[in-house]
Homo-oligomer: A and B are copies of this chain.
C-alpha cells in the first residue's frame, strides 16, 4: 500500500468515539476540541461528557476516570451514540472503566506507556490486559503516546511535566487524522488557548502534529475515514452546550421582554456554568449575584421580580429542595420569575456530576399547600435556548414562577445549533401597571379575565403603592383575608391560572407515519434517544408513534386525546416513572415506564428493546 493509497479516506456515515483518561489527562478538553472541529467541518453531532465528582480523584484509579463521548455523522444525529466504535484509553483505569461499552470489533487505542505495574494495580488489573487475549474482540492499537509526546516536544524547551501533559493533544492529532479533520483550525485554537505561554504552546502544537503525522505514517491504519458534512437545514451554525444555550436564552429572553436580566444563584454542579457565563455578560446589563445559598438566591429573585426585572435563578436538586418555601411565596404573590433545575443524580448528594430526570415530581409538588407552577423541559442542548425563552414568556404573561428543567446531560452535552434570527425572536414583553384599576384605588389582585394574571406594578410608580405577602389575600384587593370562601376561591384561581396556560401552548405533535398501536412518549433530554429508538424500531418494520412533551405542566390540551388514541403507551424516563404517574393520574391510561436510573442517558437500543418487547406482548422490566 502506498502512502497515497493510504491517504484516500473511506467514506463512512457516522462514528462514535470515546476519549477516556485520568481526570488530569484533559479528556474533556480533547473531546470538546474534536467536537468543535467536527462541528465546524459540518458534521452533525452530539456529545456526552462524564467526569468524577472529585476535582482530581486519585490519579490512575477508576474513580479518577474522566471520559467524553461524541457521535459525529453525515446525517441528523439524535444521540451521542449507544456505544463507542472507537475508544481512546489513556491509562489502564480508563480502559477498565470503558472497554465494556466498546462495540465488538471496535477500535481500541491505548497509551501503552501507562500500562505499567503501578497503574495496572491502581486500576485493579492483575497482569497486563494488553497481553493475552482479553481484548481479542477489538482492534487494539497500542501507542506509546507519552514517550512519543515527550520526544515530539523536546524542541519546545518545555519542562518534562508540561511536555507529558500534552499527550492528550497527541491523541487528538491521531484521531483528527483518522477522521480527516482539518489541522489548521485546531492549531489556531491551541495558539489561542496557550497564548502567552510560548513553550507550552509550542509543545502542544508539536504533540498535536506528531499525533496527526503518526496516523499518516505508521502502519497501524489502512486509511483514514471521511464523514461528509451533514445535510442539515441551511444556515449559520455553531456548536453549543445546554448550559451556554440556557445562559444565552436568558439574555435573549430579557431582550424579548424588554427587561433587564437579574440572575442570582449559588454555585452547584452542573448548574454553575450558567452563572459563569452570565457573569461575563455585564455589557448586556446582566446583574449577577453569587448568593450565600439557594434560599438567598431565590429570595433575591423574588425581590427583583417585585422590582420589575426578569428575575432568574438556576440550581440543581439540592438547591430546589431549599427553594421550596420561597417558591410558595412566589406562587402566593404571583410574581414572574424563572427557576432552572439542571437535574443531577439523587437522592441527596447522590451522583453530583451525573444526569437524571428525577426532580419532576419535586418541581411539580414540592411546596406545601396547593402551589401549582408551570414546568417547561428542554429536549436537547440547543433547545435550551428556545425553552428558556418560552419559560420566560409564560412567567411574564401569567405572573407566575416557572420551572425550566434541564439535566446534566443537556447541560454539558453539545450539538450544532442553527442560529436563530435575532430579529425574529418573539416579543414576550408585558406592560407594567401604571394607574389605579379599581376606582381610584389600585388592586394588586384584580386579574386579567383572560389570563387570570394580576397586574405587575413596580416600586417607583406613583399611586400604585401596595403590599404583597404570603398570607392569603382577598380576591381583588389583595388585603389579608382569612375567610373560608375567599381562600377556596383564591386557591381555585391560582390553579385555574396555571391550568389555563394549556390554551396558550402548542398541541403535542405526534410522529406516527403508519397508525401505530404503541405511543412512545418522552420528555426532556430523552427526546433524542427516544426518537432514535423509534427510528430503529421502524427500521425493523415495527410501527411505533412518538410524541414529546416540552410543556410538562400544564400538559398540552390534546394530550389526553392523544394518549387515549393508543392502546399502549411507553414512557422512557431517567427516573422511576415520574411522568408516567402524572399521565396515569390525569388520563387513567396504563402508561408504562422504561426506567433508567444509572446517572447516564439511555441507549437507543434499550428503548428499542422495550418497544419490541411491548409489541410482542412481553413484560418490560
- Taking CB atoms, residues of chain B closer than 8 Å to A588 are 584, 588-590
Binary per-residue interface labels of chain A (354-391) against chain B in the complex, 1 for a CB within 8 Å, 0 otherwise: 10101101101111111100000000000000000000
Complexed CA–CA distance, A359 and B598 (Å): 30
- Taking CB atoms, residues of chain B closer than 8 Å to A348 are 325, 328-329, 331-333, 369, 371, 469-471
A542 adjacent to chain B (CB < 8 Å): no
- Taking CB atoms, residues of chain B closer than 8 Å to A488 are 596-598
| Minimum Cβ distance to chain B for residue A337 (Å) | 14
- Taking CB atoms, residues of chain B closer than 8 Å to A232 are none
- Taking CB atoms, residues of chain B closer than 8 Å to A329 are 348-349
If A318-B328, A368-B362, A370-B358 touch, whether A482 touches B347 (CB-CB below 8 Å) is no
Complexed CA–CA distance, A322 and B299 (Å): 14
A346 adjacent to chain B (CB < 8 Å): yes
Q: Are B328 and A346 in contact (CB under 8 A)?
A: yes
Binary per-residue interface labels of chain A (447-491) against chain B in the complex, 1 for a CB within 8 Å, 0 otherwise: 000000000000000000000011110000000001011011001
If A366-B365, A368-B359, A482-B351 touch, whether A487 touches B345 (CB-CB below 8 Å) is yes
Complexed CA–CA distance, A351 and B350 (Å): 36
Q: Are A350 and B471 in contact (CB under 8 A)?
A: yes
Complexed CA–CA distance, A482 and B67 (Å): 14
Q: Are B370 and A598 in contact (CB under 8 A)?
A: no
| Minimum Cβ distance to chain B for residue A351 (Å) | 5
A581 adjacent to chain B (CB < 8 Å): yes
As for how many copies of this chain the complex holds, the number is: 2
Complexed CA–CA distance, A332 and B487 (Å): 37
- Which among B346, B366, B585 is the interface contact of A581 at CB below 8 angstroms? B585
Complexed CA–CA distance, A345 and B495 (Å): 15
| Minimum Cβ distance to chain B for residue A399 (Å) | 15
Complexed CA–CA distance, A365 and B321 (Å): 11
- Taking CB atoms, residues of chain B closer than 8 Å to A345 are 369, 472, 487
Give me 9 other A-B pairs in contact (C-beta within 8 A), A324-B362, A487-B597, A585-B585 excluded. A318-B328, A321-B366, A332-B348, A343-B368, A345-B369, A345-B487, A347-B369, A484-B599, A584-B584
- 17 A-B residue pairs with Cβ-Cβ distance under 8 Å, sorted by A, are A316-B368, A318-B368, A321-B325, A322-B325, A324-B362, A328-B347, A332-B347, A345-B472, A347-B367, A356-B369, A358-B368, A361-B364, A362-B366, A365-B365, A482-B599, A488-B598, A584-B585
Chain A residues packing against B (C-beta within 8 Å) = 52-53, 63, 316-318, 320-322, 324-325, 328-329, 331-333, 343, 345-352, 354, 356, 358-359, 361-362, 364-371, 469-472, 482, 484-485, 487-488, 491-492, 494-495, 575-576, 580-582, 584-586, 588-590, 596-600
